[in-house]
A and B are shown apart, each in its own frame.
Chain A
Amino acid sequence: MRAQRLIRVCVIGAVGAFLAACAPSAPSTQNAAAGSSPSDTLTIATTTDVVNLNPMLGNSRTDSWVTDLMYPRLLTVSANGSKEPNLATKWGYSADGKTGFFDLRNDFAWSDGTKLTATDVAYTINTIKTQKPKGNVVSGFMSNLDKATAVSPTRVELQLNKPDSIVVPEVGFWMTVVPEHIFSKQAKIDDFANASDWVSAGPYRLSSIAKGQSYTLERVEPYPIAPNGKPTLAKVVFKVYPDVNTEILALKKGDVDVIANALPPAQVKDLKGTSGISVTEVPGLGFTHMTYNMKRKPMDNVLVRQALAHAVDYKSIRAVAVQGQAVTANSSPITDSLKEFADPTLKEYTFDPQKSKALLAQAGVSNLKLTMIYSLQDPVIAAWSSMVKDSAAQAGITIDLKGMDRNTYLAKTVAGDYDIYAGSFAIMDEPVSNMALQYLPDGAINYSQVNDPQLTSLIEQAQSTIDKGKQKSLVQQAAGYVNKNMIDNIMYVQNLNVAHSSKWDGFITRPSELLSIIDPASLANVHQK
């Protein structure tokens, strides 16, 4: 009996010891931030966890929000969709177009005291070019870049092997500058997790992480873009809520101050009507579209594509699926978000099933059956896909909806294995670059599978000229061509709505979910009323 009891006690003791060993332990007060109070701490909710904190690797949206507060971009985007200075004050090309340049501010510094100079910029550019870190989007813009050189502490020059009007603005916006003296110590950037001892150029710097839960950043002074050089917040905390319903409850209760991810359209009205909560509209910079695979019959026939385009009820989709929070794109890849380059004469295709039938008859096509792929991860598209199916049926077109998980969707997209592709781009920021990526035969996002010599020629000309006027004219011609020949069915631009507690003021709104109201400039400026 006694032996039994003894064994019992030992078993329980062993279990207890094991649990105690792997139990999480309380943080000690040594890590406490000195003198911060709720009135200068901003808590931001997000639905996706941080994947990795190395800005040179492929990143989820939350990763970018956090790393943007530590690693500056050369350029940012203004409300009308054009590039604005950030770390760079001036940018452009030499007269012959074969050298690009950025002139930098001289008042940025890293949090360990080292000055931020052109060396950091050149290092970042060259490392991306040579190592091609996994998932990095910037390397795609560097095909004509040979090398970047820091010709002075405030000037970086990019040597190109031929004139390319895309490199400078795209590298300027999409690349975040990392500290050369830290990152160059790594043999391979791909293996660098950047999970501790962060060196930040401001306005904030990561101080502690609770994986899967919260990411805390603290103020970095001086930060040149903040009022009086001092960011207004002592702390910024990103908290992860995988479910958007819980996230909204947290905002309503006051556990968080801002919801960073765009609100589901259905909740905007409810939150606008909730006292204590303000909803800000953030202009969209991208668009949502359907493409018809031009490598497959009968989509190679322009009449068929136009028929398909006339069988979509654009107004209802915007009114219902997107709750009126979307604007037309005028069936043009250069939407009104890019005010300088948009062509006001282009018009959206009308919803006219009879016209569709006529066009199909003209093309000699009947009983058209097509499959449409879309990602289940995109709730808005999932919502209107059935609307597209129903309205196409009115024109005698049968569409088989194939919603799929993101990975299968990506695989099929890459392989070109679809009749109709539905998807969206969050940020299409640079007109010439956009057109090249979308409509050149080997463009990375040529989901129309288009190979049209006329279109290709227009785009290539725009790529190789640095004359803004010529660029605009060529881009507008190309966009018009896409519109008339229905090479890409751009359906709408979704404006985003973000919610925050009314206690806070001073947010600066920039387009797209990436910048939104939580870009570095905004967070360095926000304060309680």
Chain B
Amino acid sequence: MPPLAWYALRRVAHGLVTLWFAITITFLLLRLLPGDPATAIASTNMDATMRQELLTKYGLTESLPIQYGKYLVQLVQGNLGTSFSQSEPVSTVLMARLPWTLLLTGSALVVTVAIGIPLGVVAATHAKGALDRIVQVVGVVGQSLFVPSVGIFLLYILGLKLKWFPIGGAHDENVYGIAWYLNVGWHLVLPCASLALVSLGSYVLILRSTLIESLGEDFCVLARAKGTPERIVVWKHGLRNALLPTTTLLGLQLGFMVGGSVLTETIFAYPGVGRAIYESVIRLDFPVLQGAFVLLAATVVAANMITDLAYGLLDPRVRTA
């Protein structure tokens, strides 16, 4: 088999193992830490027998290996279980929320890359100059921001005072057709900006330093010696090289963002999976929590697999590693 195919196969296997790992960790954490869902659902007049009945119904009285085995079997069949508190299948509960988180983090990533690359190039080509310093400041300050504060500030200024954007939510009620998509985009601006500001910070800084390094490498010196215009040296040769490690970084960033979106979703009333996780933690709704972590891990695994495959495409050295 050609090295690229081997590489792809290895990455897929790696992804599956990662998924299994995330599932197991969540499963164990939920069952080994204190607290039981029956208490969370309990009304004040729930006596001991009722609590036991509930726990039995949820399958929480069986031994740990049995619970684990049953859960894995269920998962392989595509069944995420039924929510303890909502009496609905977990997949229904989560599939209503997951797309919003994907939209939010996906658009934040796109914005990060779209703004980050030009900024990184500007900084690297004006290394040690004024423009470089400005970009560095933007980068450093960006990754030091506390998302809820930024979010509420944006809502206050751009939402309430200037009235340019809506205050929270993913879309309005009475909108249909094409207008609905525009409406979603309008609601997406502020939450996406909050998330993007923070991830832009670290992205720009890392891109800048890898680009500076690759621009100083021999192959760029050779290109300049050949008389290639500086613009092409930077964008075609230097950037191509610098993007490789930063692409892997994007995969990591996605993982961080998808998990960190809980704060953004809370402030902006964005109905994503991060907020659903928070609410399920409060209610100790194990199936929803497990399902949410499975989905999140799957998303991150998929994203990492895609970036790794892209990396393998772009960089032949990796395939033979």
Chain-A contact segment, one of B129-137, B166-174, B205-213, B251-259: B166-174
Chain-A contact segment, one of B22-30, B39-47, B226-234: B39-47
Contact between A191 and B44, CB atoms less than 8 A apart: no
- CB proximity of A33 to chain B, nearest CB, Å: 8
On chain A, the residues within 8 Å of B268 by CB distance are 246
Expressed in whole angstroms, the Cα–Cα distance for A52 and B283 within the complex equals 13
Expressed in whole angstroms, the Cα–Cα distance for A423 and B98 within the complex equals 36
Expressed in whole angstroms, the Cα–Cα distance for A132 and B57 within the complex equals 14
- CB proximity of B163 to chain A, nearest CB, Å: 7
Contact between A211 and B279, CB atoms less than 8 A apart: no
Count how many chain A residues have C-beta atoms less than 8 Å from C-beta atoms of the other chain: 64
Contact between B176 and A29, CB atoms less than 8 A apart: yes
For residues 226 through 257 of chain A, which have their beta carbon under 8 Å from a beta carbon of chain B? 237, 239-243, 245-246, 249-250, 252-253, 255
For residues 68 through 119 of chain B, which have their beta carbon under 8 Å from a beta carbon of chain A? 82, 85-88, 93, 95-100, 102-103, 106
Say if the beta carbon of B34 comes within 8 Å of chain A: yes
Expressed in whole angstroms, the Cα–Cα distance for A292 and B103 within the complex equals 51
Contact with B along A48-90 (1 / 0, CB 8 A): 0101101001100000000000000000000000000000000
On chain A, the residues within 8 Å of B86 by CB distance are 51-52, 193
- CB proximity of A32 to chain B, nearest CB, Å: 7
On chain A, the residues within 8 Å of B175 by CB distance are 26
On chain A, the residues within 8 Å of B220 by CB distance are none
Q: A32-B176, A249-B155, A407-B40 are in contact. Are A214 and B169 (CB under 8 A)?
A: yes
Expressed in whole angstroms, the Cα–Cα distance for A36 and B174 within the complex equals 10
For residues 147 through 187 of chain B, which have their beta carbon under 8 Å from a beta carbon of chain A? 152, 155-156, 159-160, 163, 166-171, 173-178, 180-181, 184
Q: A134-B54, A212-B276 are in contact. Are A249 and B41 (CB under 8 A)?
A: no
Say if the beta carbon of A182 comes within 8 Å of chain B: no
Q: A23-B103, A132-B50, A408-B34 are in contact. Are A444 and B275 (CB under 8 A)?
A: no
Contact between B271 and A210, CB atoms less than 8 A apart: yes
Contact with A along B271-290 (1 / 0, CB 8 A): 11001100100111000000
Which of A8, A33, A214 has the most chain B CB atoms inside 10 A of its CB? Answer: A214
- CB proximity of A243 to chain B, nearest CB, Å: 5
Contact with B along A198-224 (1 / 0, CB 8 A): 000000000010111110100000000
Contact between B41 and A246, CB atoms less than 8 A apart: no
Say if the beta carbon of A117 comes within 8 Å of chain B: no
Say if the beta carbon of A136 comes within 8 Å of chain B: yes
- CB proximity of A365 to chain B, nearest CB, Å: 32
Expressed in whole angstroms, the Cα–Cα distance for A52 and B180 within the complex equals 27
Of the candidates A28, A208, A212, A253, the one whose C-beta lies within 8 Å of that of B96 is A212
Of the candidates A139, A240, A246, the one whose C-beta lies within 8 Å of that of B167 is A246
On chain A, the residues within 8 Å of B156 by CB distance are 249
Expressed in whole angstroms, the Cα–Cα distance for A58 and B309 within the complex equals 48
Count how many chain B residues have C-beta atoms less than 8 Å from C-beta atoms of the other chain: 66
Contact with B along A383-422 (1 / 0, CB 8 A): 0000000000000000000000111101100100000000
Contact between B106 and A19, CB atoms less than 8 A apart: yes
On chain B, the residues within 8 Å of A410 by CB distance are 39-40, 42
Say if the beta carbon of A15 comes within 8 Å of chain B: yes
On chain A, the residues within 8 Å of B99 by CB distance are 22-24
On chain A, the residues within 8 Å of B167 by CB distance are 246, 249-250, 253, 255
On chain B, the residues within 8 Å of A193 by CB distance are 86-88
Expressed in whole angstroms, the Cα–Cα distance for A260 and B88 within the complex equals 26
> Closest chain A residue to B262 by CB distance?
A242
> Closest chain B residue to A255 by CB distance?
B167
Contact between A213 and B180, CB atoms less than 8 A apart: no
Say if the beta carbon of B306 comes within 8 Å of chain A: yes
Contact between A8 and B313, CB atoms less than 8 A apart: yes
Expressed in whole angstroms, the Cα–Cα distance for A8 and B311 within the complex equals 11
Q: A52-B85, A255-B166 are in contact. Are A237 and B173 (CB under 8 A)?
A: yes
Say if the beta carbon of B267 comes within 8 Å of chain A: yes
On chain B, the residues within 8 Å of A4 by CB distance are 313
Expressed in whole angstroms, the Cα–Cα distance for A214 and B98 within the complex equals 16
Contact between A213 and B269, CB atoms less than 8 A apart: yes
Contact between A190 and B87, CB atoms less than 8 A apart: yes
Say if the beta carbon of A195 comes within 8 Å of chain B: yes
Contact between A54 and B87, CB atoms less than 8 A apart: yes
> Closest chain B residue to A235 by CB distance?
B173
Q: A135-B41, A214-B169, A444-B45 are in contact. Are A27 and B180 (CB under 8 A)?
A: yes
Contact between A243 and B44, CB atoms less than 8 A apart: no
> Closest chain B residue to A47 by CB distance?
B269
Q: A22-B99, A246-B269, A249-B155 are in contact. Are A214 and B87 (CB under 8 A)?
A: no
Contact between A214 and B313, CB atoms less than 8 A apart: no
Interface residues of A (CB under 8 A from B): 4, 7-8, 11, 15, 19, 22-24, 26-29, 32-33, 36, 49, 51-52, 54, 57-58, 132, 134-137, 139-140, 190-193, 195, 208, 210-214, 216, 237, 239-243, 245-246, 249-250, 252-253, 255, 405-408, 410-411, 414, 437, 444-445
Instruction: Offer 13 A-B interface pairs, CB within 8 angstroms, sorted by A.
Output: A22-B95, A26-B176, A26-B178, A57-B87, A134-B41, A137-B43, A191-B87, A211-B93, A212-B275, A213-B169, A246-B267, A253-B159, A444-B45
Given A28-B176, A249-B167, list of 11 further CB < 8 A pairs? A7-B313, A28-B177, A135-B43, A136-B43, A210-B173, A211-B271, A212-B96, A252-B160, A255-B167, A405-B282, A444-B45
